[in-house]
Amino acid sequence: MDAGGNIWMGLLGLLPLVIYIILVFRDMEPLPVTVICVLIGAVLTGQNLISLGNVLATAMSSFLALVGLIIMLGRGLGEVLSETRVAHTMVHGIMYGIGVDTEKKAMLGVMLAVLVVVGLLGTMAGGNAIIAPIVIPIAAAVGLSRSTVGVIFQAVGETALILGPFTPPVVALMGFTNLNYGEMLLKVAIPITLITLIPTWFMLQRIQRDTKGTAPYETREDVGTFKPTAASQRATRGFVILFTVAIIYGILVKAGTSYVIVVMLGLSLITGFLGGLNLDRILKLIVKGMAGNVGLFLLFLLL
């Protein structure tokens, strides 16, 4: 084949990428777009069914598949934390520990709650869904506007995803760069967090001034209806202690990405037992959570 033919074949190899970009910008979901592009790539490279199956089997042992598994386990841990009310107890402790009685204290309390819960669960949707019923009545009582709380949920939630040790972006970043969690915090997460949260804090003051009278929450009488139980407090204390020990140990020994699997399974089991759940219920919760991220696992597998 002459040079011109090689050039055209090389350009043809970019076809899956071009199609991927076009379809993504037409608002198609990443997973079906990836499947389409993988099939196009298989045709271009002359793969048959057997060779394509071998490629997928090899991909099961790849680093990206490991990242996908870790993300699924993180979702499973989130289900256990939600069922045992550990996440709820943390939010309750943060809000009432600060002593929310002014607008600024309420903003700070909601920000800390979002950072902790979203960072631990690794999902903005799930984390904010747990936080909202607890913090919104408190926010309404001190006069925070809907716009202010909405900005906190969005801006701080996105920041939390680069701080939590088991969130999808952090797991992927540590794997790709070979940084441990401590290095990632110092060199990546903390600088980005400061750049993001400091301007956010000042913008919140302005948003609150501008929207306090135009988008208020209705004052509710059920403020603080969530009351931590003895089981949820016991599970929360156990989780915090074990989580802290696991993080410190991982940093000291410079544990790799695979260490996260053991940590998340261990935290799920022990927290579940401390919260009064039996083994069968804990495993069902883990599977339920993992099922919610199967699509993301398949996406990592096909990349």
Asked whether residue 112 falls in the same domain as residue 226, the answer is yes
Q: Note the pLDDT of residue 121.
A: 81
Asked whether residue 274 falls in the same domain as residue 136, the answer is yes
Contact indicator for 195, 162 with CB cutoff of 8 Å: no
Asked whether residue 217 falls in the same domain as residue 86, the answer is yes
Rounded Cα–Cα distance for residues 42 and 50 (Å): 11
Rounded Cα–Cα distance for residues 283 and 40 (Å): 38
Asked whether residue 90 falls in the same domain as residue 53, the answer is no
Rounded Cα–Cα distance for residues 166 and 74 (Å): 6
Asked whether residue 52 falls in the same domain as residue 165, the answer is no
- Show which of 16, 42, 59 is a domain's final residue: 59
Asked whether residue 42 falls in the same domain as residue 67, the answer is no
Contact indicator for 181, 243 with CB cutoff of 8 Å: no
Is 245 strand, coil or helix?
helix
Asked whether residue 71 falls in the same domain as residue 54, the answer is no
Contact indicator for 220, 134 with CB cutoff of 8 Å: no
Asked whether residue 53 falls in the same domain as residue 100, the answer is no
Q: Note the pLDDT of residue 191.
A: 93
- The structural domain count of the chain equals 2
- Show which of 59, 80, 98 is a domain's final residue: 59
Provide the residue range defining the domain that includes 101: 63-302
Asked whether residue 217 falls in the same domain as residue 72, the answer is yes
- Show which of 31, 59, 87 is a domain's final residue: 59
Asked whether residue 144 falls in the same domain as residue 230, the answer is yes
Contact indicator for 152, 203 with CB cutoff of 8 Å: no
Q: Note the pLDDT of residue 45.
A: 82
Rounded Cα–Cα distance for residues 52 and 44 (Å): 12
Give me the tens of pLDDT residue by residue for the chain, a chain 303 residues long: 555 556 666 667 788 888 888 888 888 888 888 889 888 888 888 888 888 888 888 888 888 888 888 888 888 888 898 899 888 888 888 888 887 778 888 899 889 989 988 888 887 877 888 888 888 888 888 888 888 989 999 999 999 999 888 788 888 888 778 888 888 888 889 999 999 999 999 999 999 888 887 766 665 554 446 788 899 999 999 999 998 898 888 888 877 778 888 988 999 999 999 999 999 999 999 999 888 888 888 888 887
Asked whether residue 121 falls in the same domain as residue 179, the answer is yes
Select from 129, 89, 91, 97 the least CA-distant residue to 111. 91
Rounded Cα–Cα distance for residues 114 and 128 (Å): 7
Asked whether residue 55 falls in the same domain as residue 142, the answer is no
